[in-house]
Every structure is written in C-alpha cells, then in structure tokens.
C-alpha cells in the first residue's frame, strides 16, 4: 500500500539495528519502523498500530526518531526516561539502534533471529 501518509519525507532509507537479535531493517522514507519490520517478515510484536496499546515498544539506544503520536498518553515516566518509543509511531531519523524486549510468539518460528523468549503481551 502507498505509504505517503505522514507528511515530510526523509530522503534515504534509514538503517535500524535491533538488539539483541542483530536484525538490520531498512526503513523506507515515510514508513514507520514497525511497517518496515513487518514488511521484512520480522516477528515484531504489535497490536493496535495507532500508538495506544504499546505492544510494539522498544528502547532507543542510539540515534533518534520522529514520533507520530504523543507517547506521553501511553508510556510511563520511567519508560520515557529510558527512551522507550513505539515502533508503530516512529520514523527513524537516520541511523538508529534500538533494543526490543521480546518478539511475537506466534511468528517466532519464521524469524531469522534467535527463538522467542516471551509471549506476545
């Protein structure tokens, strides 16, 4: 589907590294991290895709993202201080490294990364 959704377009795909799985995701301009991850078939946990359920959250280790929603409605102060972001609402600004706490259990069998460690919740 055309992803011309969210205004400004970054010129080049942004490369995102995902710890501890060692995934490398190229996020095309205008796409969110989650959209790119799912397009690559990665078992990234997600549910609502509108930035409310926080299932897709991950922690920024390096670099920055443009947030498409006000994450202060859904993440706690501790999570914000630890630089948690929502993959479904994050457009990476250039090179980014994130930490994903868990993968989607039901898709884990198809993943290239290590086996699932936690359930999808």
Partner 1 sequence: MVKYLRFLSVYLFALATVAGLLLGGAWMWLGFFVTYVVTIAGDELLGDYLAEPRYGHPRLLNALLYGTLPTLFVLCVAMAWMAGSGDLLGLGAWLQANAGIDLFARREATAAWHWVGGILSTGISFAALATNVGHELTHRTSDRAAMVVGRWLLAITFDAEFAIEHVYGHHRRLATAADPASARRGEHFYAFLVRSTIGQTRSAFALERQRLETLGHATWSWHNRYLRGWMMSAAIVAAFALAGGAAAVAVFVLAALAGRSVLEAVNYFEHYGLIREPGQPVEPRHSWNSNKRLSNVVLFNLARHSHHHAEGDAQYWQLRSYPDAPTLPYGYLTSMLLVYLLPGWYRNRMTPLLLDWDRHYASAGERRLAAAANQVSGVPALQFAAGH
Q: Minimal distance in Å, beta carbon 19 to partner 1?
A: 25
User: Is residue 74 near partner 1 by the rule CB under 8 A?
Assistant: yes
If we measure between CA atoms, which residue out of 55, 58, 50 comes closest to residue 21? 58
The residue within the footprint of partner 1, chosen from 72, 82, 112, 117 (CB under 8 A), is: 72
- How buried is 58 (Cβ within 10 angstroms: 0-12 exposed, 13-18 middle, 19+ buried)? buried
Under rule CB under 8 A, residue 66 binds partner 1: yes
Cis peptide leading into residue 20 (ω within 30°): yes
Query: Which range in 19-27, 56-64, 75-83, 110-118 contacts partner 1 by CB under 8 A?
Result: 75-83
């Amino acid at each position: 589907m055309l992803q011309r959704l969210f205004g400004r377009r970054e010129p080049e795909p942004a490369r995102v590294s995902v710890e501890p799985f060692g995934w490398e995701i190229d996020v095309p301009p205008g796409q969110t991290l989650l959209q790119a991850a799912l397009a690559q078939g990665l078992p990234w946990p997600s549910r609502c895709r509108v930035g409310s359920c926080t299932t897709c959250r991950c922690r920024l280790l390096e670099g920055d993202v443009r947030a498409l929603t006000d994450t202060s409605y859904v993440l706690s102060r501790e999570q914000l201080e630890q630089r948690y972001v929502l993959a479904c609402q994050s457009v990476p600004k250039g090179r980014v490294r994130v930490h994903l706490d868990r993968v989607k259990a039901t898709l884990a069998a198809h993943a290239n990364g290590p086996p699932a460690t936690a359930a999808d919740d």
